[in-house]
Structure 1
Amino acid sequence: MTARHWSDPITPAEITEVASLVLGDGRIGEHPRFWGIAVEESLARALADGQGRPVRLVVMNPDAHAAWEVTGWTSGIDRAASLLAWTPVDAKRPGVSSDEARMVAQAARNSPVLKEALAKRGIVDTSLVWVDPESITGFEPEDLADRRLSWGTVWHRESIDDNGYARPVAGLVPIIDLETLEIVRLEDHGVIPMASETGRYASGTWGPDRTVAPLEITQPEGPGFTVEGHEVRWQNWSFRIGFTHREGLVLHDVAYHDGDAVRPVLDRAAINEMYVPYLDSDPTAYRKNFFDWGEYGAGPLTASLELGCDCLGEIRYFDAHYIDGFGEARTITNGICMHEEDDSILWKHVNTRTGDSEVRRQRRLVISFFATVANYDYGFYWSLYQDGAIELEVKLTGILSVSGIADGAEPAYGRMVAPNVQAPTHQHYFAVRLDTAVDGPLNRLVEVHAESEEDETLNPYGNAVRMVSTTIASEREAARANDPARAVHWRIESTEHTNRYGDATSFRLVMPNTTRLFARPGSVVERKAPFVAKHVWATAYDPAERFIAGDYPNQAPLGEEGITAWQRADRPLDGARLVVWPVLGVHHYVRPEDWPVMPLQRIGFRMEPDGFFDRNPALDVPPSNPAHCSPTSHATHGHAQHDAHAAHGHAHHEHGMH
């Protein structure tokens, strides 16, 4: 029996042994479907390696309109795999697996109802048609509300290798029963001409490729990190790599080694949810608002990464594993990538009086994965820095989700990207879960903003500015909005440790300009994801409160579950086991340059040590190349430069221009 740390990603053997027990139970029927298996982390954390792990999985019996959350144990040194309990779940609400999506697409293509509608548009070979089952949460027809439903976006290819996402079949909206795999309703809003221009993007499609000089990244002595199992150590940092069905990549036990002290920063960090609302009333676009994690799952959507394409340099890959829609263990080869990157200057100063120069180049460790959600591709890059900072960057690329448009019409709520093709304005929200542990388990959240000093006796020159700190005392106060105009940021403070100045040791959370939701209050889009109304939330840790949108957001009652419901308890947060939930929002008003495949857009946040250290923790980083970057190598040039410009330099000094 191989010893496993409690936080290690679930293994194919664990998936198989638990799924086999479930498949042997008669209640699941002849055609069971699965959605996700996960380690019960709150229970597993206390276990020694090799004891087996508590897990939960979701299984459905579509023939009986039934679903369960099943809990059990994987095998360990002294136990066999076992099942503990079957808890019924509303059969409408488990997420949709990729296998289920393929079954739906095939059934829709074979439907006489859809074939007839496609024939009106000149499409007779339905093997060239794609049908993507989409979340219908909030838009269920009243007479079908008791069914497990989806609606379909329909696309057509001119050939097998065509980009189907460039050719929307406008006006057709099939409503699909996910259990019976039948189209129970077909909306037809009229025939609109198909796209007349190719949307292919392969090399050479739009002319010969340009010349690009080779760029090689080498580390002759190998990478600067060490890996033991799923534990990583690099430049005073240590952490563990995890992976789940719903969130994809997870970082556990992120800590900084400060001399002999191991100082925790985060217990856990992951992308917890992604919400993508479309802001167009077009009949084939207004229903587009998805919880890509809660309604589909990041794990199965994770892409295999390739050396030289997705990642450069000395790479360490980690495979990822998940349960498919039929209960089989699946492996994503190279699902997670880890590598070091040069990141320009870490710190620098030139002493113009002596000619001495000190400069250090910055290096960062990047841990990343990519998820492909039908047309869009999302990259998630966690970076650790030598100065103690932690950064998340989300990279958005792939293909826009477009709609057809009639000849001569102008899109009211989007942009034209090709003849008869419009791209609606839309948004992407990324909710992050940070289980904080800054210098220990008990933390507080403090909001900081800038204010002009109004007391003229204290501010006679009008330039005095105070930084005002407000402790977020309880959960009802912990729904906060970002405001760069007031220099708003947040400190995650230890309530147990102070630095040499008497301040609480802390990390600063800095967020970029992030959008707000423009959907009308009370709309389905707004009510489905009330957490996007704010940019930072905080709760007291509760092992049952795992996901910001609730455990089962698919066809859930709007706005009744998740973080806005949890906060009604108004638990105290000052000195709590704190969970901080940043929400990053991208407002995508499409450009023609985003077509037919989109160059990267970026958004992210940064956690910086703020009083966590007594001084710059990167003073011990050596020059990159001592033969060229040491202070003495610049002395001759520096002194000559100083002599030649002495008068100019002294003039600056006399005027206070350092």
Structure 2
Amino acid sequence: MSTLAPRPASAAAPHPLDPLTAAELAVAVKVLKDDPRVTEDTRFWGVALDEHHARTARPGDARRARAVVICPSAHVGYEVDLELGEKPQSTAWRELDVRSPGCSSEEARQAAAVCRADPRFREALALRGIHDVSLVMVDPESIGGFEPPEHPGRRLTWGSVWHRESEDDNGYARPVQGVVPVIDMESMEVLYIEDHGVVPLSEESGVFAAGTVPERAGLKPLEVVQPEGPSFTVSGQRVDWQGWSVRVGFSHREGLVLHDLSFDAGGRGPRQVIRRASVNEMYVPYFDTASTQYRKNFFDWGEYGAGPLTNSLALGCDCLGVIHYFDAAVLGGDGVPRVIPNAVCMHEEDDGILWKHHDGRTGRTEVRRSRRLIISAFATVANYDYGFYWSLYQDGSVMLEIKMTGILSATGVTEDEETPYARRVAPNVAVTNHQHFFAVRLDMAVDGTANRLVEVTAEHESDPALDPYGNAARTVLRPVLSEAEGGRSTDASRALHWRVESTEARNRMGEPTAYRVHVENTAVLPVRPDSVCARRAPFVAKQLWATEYDPARRFVAGEYPNQAEPGADGVHRWQEEDRSLDGTDLVLWATVGSHHFPRPEEWPVMPVARARLRLEPDGFFDRNPALDVPAPVSCHPPATAADAGGGHCCAG
């Protein structure tokens, strides 16, 4: 049984870091539309809260935001600073290359409709036996790195094409191979159609809705019950739970954002851990020479935006237990704000054993069960679905788990075609090898903002005189003191991980208080260095980057990766300034990676695959901070000593 948590009391007043509301978005759009620079055909690519101002503003100051607009008839884009107070106004306008802003869902739908109306597109479909174009799906894809030289300076996209046999069909199971429309996204016209030859369409259904296959028998109900309600409290966007305090935020580009994570161990007062945490970018390159595959390399956040693609979550389906939901407001490409109900889910889960010891001499056992608070959201990017689960633990640990599911991006193949860069998953259907990179931004604040990064490895003792038995190993700590050294790589053979240390606070052993960072899932691009994907996303070459905080440097691949010169902006450029990282306001950019070798078992819909990032206290506390967790109330002595090996399961 899943239920809604009791409605929380409203916050006394909105917090400066609260997400923008639908009303504020509407005010922003009105200010923009009232300006003569904004044309009748203007499109919008989001309005974002000015978080730096929100952190430094004085009480009573108006909230500030930044909008991105595209004016197709004027062939220009603008980045606009706004004040959203009693007298809303724009305060600065900066011209943008019209190609720079990302593509909204409204633009994508318009481009697909333009393709379906184009006679050349219809003719190419007819050659493949497709005559009802209303059943044809077109996904406009980013073209970065593959802009046709005969169309310079245009805001372009190319279309991947799919066919459904009915309105309820799974079109992604039936790729229309070889047909590639190239579209001008300003004028909304099809420039030309590539036709690489007819490949038979798959005749196998890819439908996986309930009732399509006989249901498995024998699954009994599993109820999650919290008779006294949840252990968290909510006030506005602030959450308090088991020593943790966190603010739940949301943005157009990144979707779910967490602010001001602090931990209070034993009631001694809250201590800062992380100032801001988000999945900052997602990059997905494909590794195939096929006509409908070789261009595929996407900055899903920088070219589309996580916010508008966020799902409404369903009680009892996406989350189980006693649930609290946060709604989120987003701005469509047409300038119409909308609210995503239940955009963010929060609930508690049992997480197995937290700590335990059985004393064989006395027969006494002490055991505590772990519970975690999960704050999660799901975003759907065309065929793929991605879940982002931030978990807070009673021992002060933090984990991000990314769940990848949905439908694989397929290509059509002939019966006898070799597929060296893909794997067949159905008749006439193959799926290309590809990768998913998630750039996680962590604005660290371990006991304050004066932090440093230290790399930790296990290394054997090199002096034989000190190691007569050959088994001595040191913990080696290497401070990373400047941005030029800020790009780091993992190495499991040396147990490599990183510490974020306070340069001011010490624990009782005299060591700097710190948090460890583990990037548990990594991948390396298996391509030539001169390839488009390697040049467009240099940040994926390292598993961790460190920079000094700069409010103007918000995104790991740069502010506007859409049709940008490959590698022109991003964290790999910022490190060239070589600013000091010793005792600074430290920002980490961790790269969680997953190499996807497709499997037939992932077709026609993919069971969840997981990738993780983990942070844990390392000398932040003087001893186990979870000693105060209560013993399980349902933990009873066994019926006989033999049943329990001579003792009962936990102290009563």
- Shorter-normalised TM range: over 0.9
Name the CA shift for 1:300/1:347 in 2 (closer, same or farther; >3 Å). Answer: same
Once the two structures are superposed, residues 446-472 of structure 1 have per-residue CA deviations (whole angstroms, 9 ceiling, x without a partner) of 001111112222111111111111000
Question: Structure 2 residue aligned with 1:120, among 78, 102, 127?
Answer: 127
1:90 and 1:254 map into 2 onto residues whose CA distance is 37
* Normalised TM-score (structure 1): 0.95
Pairwise mapping of residues 501-580 of structure 1 onto structure 2 (< 5 A)?
Answer: 501-580=509-588
Q: Which residue of 2 aligns with 1:98?
A: 105
Pairwise mapping of residues 141-160 of structure 1 onto structure 2 (< 5 A)?
Answer: 141-160=148-167
Give the counterpart letter for 2:417 in structure 1. Answer: A
Q: Which residue of 2 aligns with 1:292?
A: 300
Q: Does 1:192 align with 2:196?
A: no
1:266 and 1:523 map into 2 onto residues whose CA distance is 36
1:301 and 1:568 map into 2 onto residues whose CA distance is 34
Shift of 1:183: 1.0
Q: Which residue of 2 aligns with 1:465?
A: 473
Say if 1:346 and 1:361, in contact at 8 Å, map to a contact too: yes
Name the CA shift for 1:111/1:250 in 2 (closer, same or farther; >3 Å). Answer: same
Q: Which residue of 2 aligns with 1:71?
A: 81
Q: Which residue of 1 aligns with 2:379?
A: 371
Q: Which residue of 1 aligns with 2:631?
A: 623
Shift of 1:48: 4.4
Question: Structure 2 residue aligned with 1:16, among 19, 26, 45?
Answer: 26
2:138 and 2:128 map into 1 onto residues whose CA distance is 16
Q: Which residue of 2 aligns with 1:491?
A: 499
Pairwise mapping of residues 257-336 of structure 1 onto structure 2 (< 5 A)?
Answer: 257-258=264-265, 259-336=267-344
Shift of 1:27: 2.1
User: SS at 2:203's partner residue?
Assistant: coil
Q: Which residue of 2 aligns with 1:404?
A: 412
Once the two structures are superposed, residues 394-435 of structure 1 have per-residue CA deviations (whole angstroms, 9 ceiling, x without a partner) of 000000000000122231111101000000000000000000
User: SS at 2:389's partner residue?
Assistant: strand
Q: Does 1:59 align with 2:72?
A: no
User: SS at 2:503's partner residue?
Assistant: strand
- What runs of 5+ residues in structure 2 fail to find an aligned partner? 1-10, 648-652
Q: Which residue of 1 aligns with 2:354?
A: 346
Q: Which residue of 1 aligns with 2:116?
A: 109
Q: Does 1:81 align with 2:88?
A: yes
Q: Which residue of 2 aligns with 1:35?
A: 45
Q: Which residue of 2 aligns with 1:439?
A: 447
Give the counterpart letter for 1:371 in structure 2. Answer: A
Name the CA shift for 1:21/1:513 in 2 (closer, same or farther; >3 Å). Answer: closer
* Normalised TM-score (structure 2): 0.96
Shift of 1:211: 3.3
2:502 and 2:535 map into 1 onto residues whose CA distance is 35
Q: Which residue of 2 aligns with 1:655?
A: none
* C-alpha RMSD of the superposition: 1.5
Give the counterpart letter for 1:222 in structure 2. Answer: G
Q: Which residue of 1 aligns with 2:482?
A: 474
1:111 and 1:558 map into 2 onto residues whose CA distance is 32
Total equivalences in the alignment:
636
Q: Which residue of 2 aligns with 1:235?
A: 242
Moved more, 206-215 or 179-188: 206-215
Shift of 1:87: 0.8
Moved more, 520-529 or 508-517: 508-517
Shift of 1:564: 1.0
Q: Which residue of 1 aligns with 2:429?
A: 421
Say if 1:275 and 1:291, in contact at 8 Å, map to a contact too: yes
Q: Does 1:132 align with 2:139?
A: yes
Shift of 1:639: 11
Shift of 1:640: 8.7
Say if 1:484 and 1:513, in contact at 8 Å, map to a contact too: no
User: SS at 2:129's partner residue?
Assistant: coil
- What runs of 5+ residues in structure 1 fail to find an aligned partner? 644-658
2:199 and 2:639 map into 1 onto residues whose CA distance is 73
Give the counterpart letter for 2:443 in structure 1. Answer: D
Q: Which residue of 2 aligns with 1:165?
A: 172
Say if 2:519 and 2:591, in contact at 8 Å, map to a contact too: no
Say if 2:48 and 2:65, in contact at 8 Å, map to a contact too: yes
Once the two structures are superposed, residues 608-654 of structure 1 have per-residue CA deviations (whole angstroms, 9 ceiling, x without a partner) of 000000111000101111x635xxx46972799459xxxxxxxxxxx
Say if 1:355 and 1:634, in contact at 8 Å, map to a contact too: no
Q: Does 1:247 align with 2:254?
A: yes
1:314 and 1:465 map into 2 onto residues whose CA distance is 47
1:338 and 1:565 map into 2 onto residues whose CA distance is 37
1:610 and 1:306 map into 2 onto residues whose CA distance is 37
User: SS at 2:628's partner residue?
Assistant: coil
Say if 2:413 and 2:430, in contact at 8 Å, map to a contact too: yes
1:400 and 1:635 map into 2 onto residues whose CA distance is 52
Shift of 1:46: 2.0
Say if 1:2 and 1:50, in contact at 8 Å, map to a contact too: no
Shift of 1:260: 2.7
User: SS at 2:641's partner residue?
Assistant: helix
Q: Which residue of 1 aligns with 2:370?
A: 362
User: SS at 2:23's partner residue?
Assistant: helix
Shift of 1:26: 2.6
Give the counterpart letter for 1:129 in structure 2. Answer: V
Shift of 1:74: 0.7
Name the CA shift for 1:43/1:407 in 2 (closer, same or farther; >3 Å). Answer: same
Pairwise mapping of residues 376-391 of structure 1 onto structure 2 (< 5 A)?
Answer: 376-391=384-399
2:243 and 2:639 map into 1 onto residues whose CA distance is 32
Q: Which residue of 1 aligns with 2:190?
A: 183
1:640 and 1:66 map into 2 onto residues whose CA distance is 74
Once the two structures are superposed, residues 34-56 of structure 1 have per-residue CA deviations (whole angstroms, 9 ceiling, x without a partner) of 00101111112122455321111
User: SS at 1:334's partner residue?
Assistant: strand
1:639 and 1:419 map into 2 onto residues whose CA distance is 55
1:21 and 1:81 map into 2 onto residues whose CA distance is 7
Say if 2:22 and 2:339, in contact at 8 Å, map to a contact too: yes
